[in-house]
Structure 1
Amino acid sequence: MEENLSDTVKSTNKTKRTAPSCCCTHDQEHKEEENHAGHSHDDVATGYRLFLPALISLVLLGVALLFDYGWKQAWFSGEVRWIWYGLAYIPVGFPVLRDAFLSARAGDLFSEFFLMGIATIGAFAIGEYPEAVAVMLFYAVGEIFQSLAVSKAKGSIKALLDQRPDEVTVLVDHVPQLIRAEKARIGDVLQLKPGEKLGLDGELLSASASFNTSALTGESRPDTKKQGDMVLAGMINLHTLAEVKVTAAYQDSKLSKILKLVQDATSKKAPTELFIRKFARIYTPIVALLAVGICLLPYFIVQDYQFTDWLYRALVFLVISCPCALVISIPLGYFGGIGAASRHGILVKGSNFLDTLAKTTHVVMDKTGTLTEGVFQVQDVVFNAGFDKEEILCLVQALEAKSTHPVATAIRQYVGEEKQRVVFEEVEELAGLGMRATVSDNRSLLVGNFKLMDKFGITYDIDLSTIVYTTIAVAFDGKFVGYLTIADRLKEDAKFAIERLHKLGVETTILSGDKENVVHDIAAKLNVKRSFGDLLPADKLAKVEALKKEKETVVFVGDGVNDAPVIAGSDVGMAMGGLGSDAAIETADVVIQDDRPARIGMAIQIGRQTKVIVWQNILMAFVVKGLVLFLGAWGVATMWEAVFADVGVALMAILNAIRIQRTKF
C-alpha cells in the first residue's frame, strides 16, 4: 500500500516519509504509550533529516546574498563567488539532478526533475547564481511539504494497517500461551486482557465485555458485547479480562478483508486523475520545445537579439511550466477524500468511486439490515388445525439452524433449545424464497415466503394484504401448515439518513424481498416515495438497471448475499460492513463499517467536496501558470514569479486539498 499511495509523489529526497502509525502489540496500554512516544521521536528525527539539506542551502545562500548586496566583500567575486553558490546549490540540487538522470534512464526524459535541472543549470551558465539556488531551494522545500502533506492525508488510511496485533494469547488446557496470530485455529479460545486488541474474529465466551471499536467503525463510543455476540479483529478490550472463541482464520477476518480493500483503493484512479497524468506526459515535452523556441526563434525576428536575455526567458518559462501543482495536488485531493471517509467508518475502494459518488442522483436501499436493525422477533404463530405445533416448530428450528439469515435466528430464539435431533436427507436454500428440506421419512418441509409456496404448488387461503409484519410460511408433506409473523425495527438514524439524502437532492427508493405491505409501511415512516417488495435478486437488479437507463447515477446499499448481484450492477455499490455478508462486502465499492445508514449521505458529501477541491486545484494551477507563462515569454516575469507559479501554486493547492481532512460532514 505504501508504494501504491506514494507512486505519484516525486520527492527530491528519497528518505522514506510516513505518517505516524500506532503500535500493534499484545502489550498493555502503558507499553503502547511508550511505543507511541518512540514513534514521535522518530518522526521528529525524520522531519529534521528531511529539512537539513534545505537548511544548509538556505544558510549558504543567505551569507552569499549578504556578501553580494549587504556587507560587500572584495574577495567574494569570480571563482570564489561561483564556488560558494555552487556549494549552496548542491544540497538541494544534487537529488533533483540525480532523479532527472534516473528518470531519463527509465525512459521519462521530460520529467519535472529534468525541467528544474535544465532551468537552474542554465541560470548558473548565464551568471544568475542567486536565482538558480533560490529556485532549487524553494522547489526542494515545496517537495518536502508536498511529501509531508501526502503523509498526513494518508494517515487515516494507513492507521488501519496497524490494527492487527502480531501475537495473541491462546488458552491451552486453561494455561495462557503467546503465539503468532496467524497460527491460531478456528475453535481456539483467546484470552484478551484489558487494553489489548483482538487479533481474530470470534464469539465472546465471557458474560459481557466492553470494546473500543473506533478502528473499525469510526465510532468512539464503547460497545458492550454479551456472551455469544460476535467480536471482530481490531476491537480493543476496555475493562475486564475476556475470553473469545475464534470463528475465522486470521486471513479471513473482517479486518483482514477491510485492510485488503484499503490497500487496493488507490490503484483505482479517478478519470480526472488519469487525465491529468496523461496530460502531464504530453504537456511537459511540449513546453520544453516551446522553451527552446523562445530562446532561439527570436534570433530570426528580433533585431537586437541577445542570447542571454532570451535564454533567461526560456529558463523562466521552464520553471513555470513544471506540472507539480497538478501532478501532486490532484492525487492528494483524492487521498484526502478516501482518508476523510475512512476516518468516519466509510471505506472507499478507489478514487474513481469518489467521483461517481459526487454525481449520485438516486440511492436505492435494501430494507433488512440496511434501514432496519435486522434483529427480528417472532410475533405470532398461526398454524392450521390438524398439525402438531410443537413438532412442526421443532422441524422448522432444525432447518433454520442451517441458515444465518436474521429471520432464521429469530425463529431459533423463539423455539428455544432443540428438544430432539432432526435428520434431513436433503437441504436446499432457494435465493429470495426460503429453504426446502426432505425429512428422513421422505416428507418435504418448506419454510420461506409465500412465493416458495407458489413455486411448489402449495395452496393456501390467506389474505396477505391483512398481515403487516414479515411472514414466514410453512408447508409440510405437500400441505400448507400456516405461518409465523416476524417484526423488525428501524435503525435509530434511518429517518435522519433519508432526510439527509433528500437535502442533498438525491432521490430514494427501497427494494426488498420482504412483503410488499411491510416495505410500504417502512417507506411511509421514512418518507420514501418509491418502494417495492416481494422482489427476487434478479428483480432488484432489473429495477436498478431501469433507473440507470433513465440516466440516473445509482448507488445501491445492501447487506445480504442476495444483494451482491445488485451491488455489482449499480454505479456504486455500498455494503453494510458490520452485519453485511462477506459476499456483499467484497462486491461493494464502498463499505460502511458501522452499519449506520446516515453514512450514505456522508459518503456522497465527501465525494462532492473532494471533486470541488480537485477542480479548484486544476483551475487555479492552469490560470496562474498560464498567466505567468505568458508574462515569462514576454520577459515581464522573472525567476521569482516563476517560483511562485511553480512551488507557490503547488503549496496553495496542497493546503486547499488537505481542507477536506478538517471538514465536518
Structure 2
Amino acid sequence: MKEKIKLENINNQNHQYNHNLNTSKLKIYKPAIISFIMLIFGLALDYFKIASFFNGTIRLVWYTIAYLPVGLPVLKQGWKSIKKGSYFTEFLLMSIATIGAFILGEYPEGVSVMLFYAVGELFQGSAVKRAKSNIQALLDVRPNEALVFRKNSYVTVAPEDIKVGEKIQVRVGEKVAVDGVLLSARASLNTAAITGESKPNTIGKNETVYAGSINLQDVIEVKATKKFKESSIARILDLVQNATALKSKTELFIRKFAKIYTPIVVFLAIGLTLLPFFFVNDYVFRDWLYRALIFLVISCPCALVISIPLGYFGGLGAASKNGILFKGASFLDTIAKVNTLAMDKTGTITKGVFKIQELVSFSIDEKEMMQYMLALESKSTHPIAQALLDYPLDKTYIATDIQEVAGKGIRGVVNGKKVLVGNTALLLDYKIDALTEIEDIVESSVLVAIDGQFVGYVIIADEIKEDAKETVSEAYKIGVKDFYMFSGDRDCITKKVAKEANVLRAKGGLLPEDKLKEVEELMKDPKAVVAFVGDGINDAPVLAVSDVGIAMGGLGSDLAIETADVIIQTDQLSKIVKAIKIGRSTRKVVWQNIVLAFGVKLIVLLLGALGLATMWGAVFADVGVALLAILNAVRLQRMKW
C-alpha cells in the first residue's frame, strides 16, 4: 500500500513538472507568438486592402505594437551593453537595422527582422540548453542519500558523510553512493552514467563498484573504499561542470574576432550610406540607407558566436555519454590532430592484474606443491602473492619461522620442511640451480624449493586487455601513424605484450624519467601530435608534458587522473579511438559552421551592397544561417560512435 501511494506521489510530481515545463515554454515563446500574429494580420491588411483605415498613424501604431514584444528585450539588452562599455554588439546592429527600417517606412520588414532574430535566439537558447542538459543528465546520477551500517543498524546519511571502510546497503533502483567493493555474492548494475555502456553489468564479490551505478536486482551490500569527494561520480561532476570553462582556440578566436568585426561593420554601414554621395550621380539617401540596413542585418555575428560554442558543448556531451571526460573544449581540438599514440603497458594495454598462467611441478603433486607455496605466501602482501592466493585450494598447511628476503622472495618452515618461494636469486643463495628449467620463460615466475630440492614453479603474468588488438588496428585506420609502448617492466616482457597487441615499437625497463625522455623525443618532430595513455603515478610527468594526456580512470592513480587532459572512465582502450573520432567530428562541425556562416554572409553582403538583396535575404543570411549551424551542431549529440 505504501509503495502504491509512493508511486502515485511520484506520478503526480511528474505531471506537475511537465505542466510547469509546458507553461514555462509557452511563456518564453509568448512575445514571439504575439508579434507573429500581429505581423500576419498587418501584412493581410496591407496587401489585400481589407480596411481603408489601415494607413498612416494607425498602420505605424499597429506595427510598433507588433515590434515591441520581440524588439523591446533586444533594445534593453543593447542599452545595457552600451552602459557596460560594449558599444558594438549584435543587439546594437539589430536595433539600428530595425529602427532604421521603421524610419524608412518599411514597418513590416522592421518587425520581421526583429521577430526572426528573436525566434533564432530562442532556438539557439533551446539548443544550448539541450546540449547542457545532456551533460546535466550525468549530474543527475549523483545519489542524495545512502544507508550505512552504524551501531548495529542501517541509518540514512548524506554521501559526503560516508567513511572509508563502512558498509552500505543499496536497495533495488537505488544509486551506489561512493566507490567500493561488493560484499554480496553478485550484483547487476546499470553503470551507463559512469561507463557510457547501457548494457547491465554483472559483477561478483570483491569486485569494484562505482558511485552512481544503479542497482537493478536484489538488495546488495558494498564496502566503501573512497570518500564521496574522491569517488568516480564526484570526479565526473567536477570535470563536466568545469570542462566548458576552458575554451578552444577556435572559440576564443571567434569571440575576439566578433569584438573587432562588429565595429568595423557599423562603420562600413555608415560609409555605405554616405560615401556614394561623392561618387554616384543619382544618389538617393533613402536607397543607400536601406542597403546599409540590410548590410547590418546580414553582418550580425550571432551565427558564429552561438553555433561554435554549441558545437563544443555537443562534443563534450557526446564524450561524457560514452564514459570519456575532457577537461576542456580545447582538448577536443587537440585530440582531433593526434597522429602519434604512446602507451604505458601495465594497467593500460594490460589489465594490471596478475594471474596464474601456468603451473609446473617435478617431483611432487601439483596441489601439494601449492600447499607449501601458499602457506608462505599467505603471510605476504606482495601483488604476486595475492595472485597466487587466488588459486582454488583449501589451505591446510601452516608455516612457521617465516622470513621475507627483500627483492628475492620468502622462506620458512612448513610441516617441518624448509621451504623457499621466490626468484632464481633466492634459490642460488642456497646453492639450488633452477636456471635450466626456466631460462626460456619471459614472464614472472615463482620458484619453489623444499629441503634443498627444486620442485617446480608457477608462471604469473598480467593479461592483455580484450580490446587491445582492436584498438591498435582501429587507431591505424583512423590515421594514427605511429604507435609506441613504454614500460617500466622488463624489456622482454614489454616486447612480448607489444607483439600480442600488434604494437610495432616497444621499449621496457624504463624509469619515469626515461619515459619522459622518450615522449619528449617524439614531440621534437614538428609534425607529431602526441597523446600518451597511462594510469600510474609514474605516468604523471609524461601525461603532463604530452600534447594530450589520457588517463585510465577506473584503476588509475589519482595523480594520473589529476594530471591528464582526458579521462577514460571504463579503462577500455577502445574509448581512445572514440575520443579521437568525437574530437574530429566536433572540429569538423565547428569548421562547417564557420564556412557556412562566412560564405553565405559574404554572398548576401555583396548582393546587399549592390542593391540586389532585400531585408528578407538579410534575415536568411543571419537567422537562417544561425539555425542551420545550430542543427548541424546538434547532430553531434545524436551520432552513434
* TM-score greater than 0.5 by the shorter chain: yes
Residue 89 (str. 1) matches residue 42 (str. 2): no
1:37 CA displacement: 5.3
Q: Which residue does the alignment assign to 1:653?
A: 629
The letter for the 2-side match of 1:347 is L
Gaps of 5+ in 2: 362-368, 411-420, 427-432, 449-455
Distance 1:154 1:303 in 2: 55
Q: Which residue does the alignment assign to 2:510?
A: 535
Q: Which residue does the alignment assign to 1:24?
A: none
Residue 135 (str. 1) matches residue 113 (str. 2): yes
Distance 1:324 1:448 in 2: 70
Q: Residues 504, 571 of structure 1: CA spacing in aligned structure 2 closer, same or farther, 3 A cutoff?
A: same
The letter for the 1-side match of 2:175 is K
Secondary structure of 2:203's counterpart equals strand
Number of aligned positions between the proteins: 612
Residue 593 (str. 1) matches residue 569 (str. 2): yes
Q: Residues 315, 250 of structure 1: CA spacing in aligned structure 2 closer, same or farther, 3 A cutoff?
A: same
Residue 48 (str. 1) matches residue 37 (str. 2): no
Residue 548 (str. 1) matches residue 523 (str. 2): yes
Gaps of 5+ in 1: 1-26, 428-433, 438-446, 454-459, 475-481
Secondary structure of 1:369's counterpart equals helix
Residue 377 (str. 1) matches residue 345 (str. 2): no
Q: Residues 231, 423 of structure 1: CA spacing in aligned structure 2 closer, same or farther, 3 A cutoff?
A: farther
Q: Residues 119, 489 of structure 1: CA spacing in aligned structure 2 closer, same or farther, 3 A cutoff?
A: same
In the TM superposition, 1:24-63 aligns within 5 A as 38-63=16-41
Selected match of 2:248 from 252, 265, 270: 270
Q: Which residue does the alignment assign to 1:519?
A: 494
Distance 1:365 1:153 in 2: 32
Q: Residues 90, 232 of structure 1: CA spacing in aligned structure 2 closer, same or farther, 3 A cutoff?
A: same
Q: Which residue does the alignment assign to 2:580?
A: 604
Q: Which residue does the alignment assign to 2:476?
A: 502
Q: Does the 8 A contact of 2:568 with 2:575 survive in 1?
A: yes
The letter for the 1-side match of 2:478 is L
1:595 CA displacement: 1.5
Q: Which residue does the alignment assign to 1:110?
A: 88
In the TM superposition, 1:177-576 aligns within 5 A as 177-379=155-357, 400=381, 407=384, 409-411=386-388, 413=390, 466-470=440-444, 485-506=459-480, 507-551=482-526, 552-576=528-552
1:225 CA displacement: 2.3
1:205 CA displacement: 1.9
Q: Does the 8 A contact of 2:377 with 2:385 survive in 1?
A: no
Between 1:374-383 and 1:223-232, the stretch displaced more is 374-383
Distance 1:550 1:624 in 2: 39
Distance 1:136 1:335 in 2: 27
Q: Residues 518, 28 of structure 1: CA spacing in aligned structure 2 closer, same or farther, 3 A cutoff?
A: farther
Distance 1:622 1:97 in 2: 26
Between 1:310-319 and 1:43-52, the stretch displaced more is 43-52
Distance 2:329 2:76 in 1: 32
The letter for the 2-side match of 1:410 is A
In the TM superposition, 1:164-183 aligns within 5 A as 164-183=142-161
Q: Does the 8 A contact of 1:164 with 1:198 survive in 2?
A: no
Distance 1:244 1:137 in 2: 57
Selected match of 1:151 from 129, 147, 160: 129
TM-score (norm 1): 0.84
Secondary structure of 1:104's counterpart equals helix
Q: Rg larger in 1 or in 2?
A: 2
Between 1:147-156 and 1:538-547, the stretch displaced more is 147-156
The letter for the 1-side match of 2:293 is L
1:164 CA displacement: 1.0
Q: Does the 8 A contact of 1:564 with 1:584 survive in 2?
A: yes
1:527 CA displacement: 2.0
Q: Does the 8 A contact of 2:550 with 2:566 survive in 1?
A: yes
Distance 2:386 2:255 in 1: 51
Secondary structure of 2:346's counterpart equals coil
TM-score (norm 2): 0.87
Secondary structure of 2:194's counterpart equals helix
Secondary structure of 1:376's counterpart equals strand
Residue 643 (str. 1) matches residue 606 (str. 2): no
Q: Does the 8 A contact of 1:471 with 1:515 survive in 2?
A: no
Secondary structure of 2:281's counterpart equals coil
Q: Residues 449, 595 of structure 1: CA spacing in aligned structure 2 closer, same or farther, 3 A cutoff?
A: farther
Per-residue CA deviation, residues 102-151 of structure 1 (Å, 9 max, x unaligned), is 11122211111111111111111111110000000000111111111112
What RMSD in Å do the two structures reach over aligned CA positions? 3.6
Distance 2:208 2:435 in 1: 38
Per-residue CA deviation, residues 276-332 of structure 1 (Å, 9 max, x unaligned), is 111111000110111111112222222332222211111111111110111011111
The letter for the 2-side match of 1:113 is F
The letter for the 1-side match of 2:79 is F
Q: Residues 355, 218 of structure 1: CA spacing in aligned structure 2 closer, same or farther, 3 A cutoff?
A: same
Q: Does the 8 A contact of 2:188 with 2:200 survive in 1?
A: yes
Per-residue CA deviation, residues 457-491 of structure 1 (Å, 9 max, x unaligned), is xxx996997222135799xxxxxxx9974212222
Q: Does the 8 A contact of 1:364 with 1:556 survive in 2?
A: yes
Q: Residues 608, 221 of structure 1: CA spacing in aligned structure 2 closer, same or farther, 3 A cutoff?
A: same
Q: Does the 8 A contact of 1:578 with 1:594 survive in 2?
A: yes
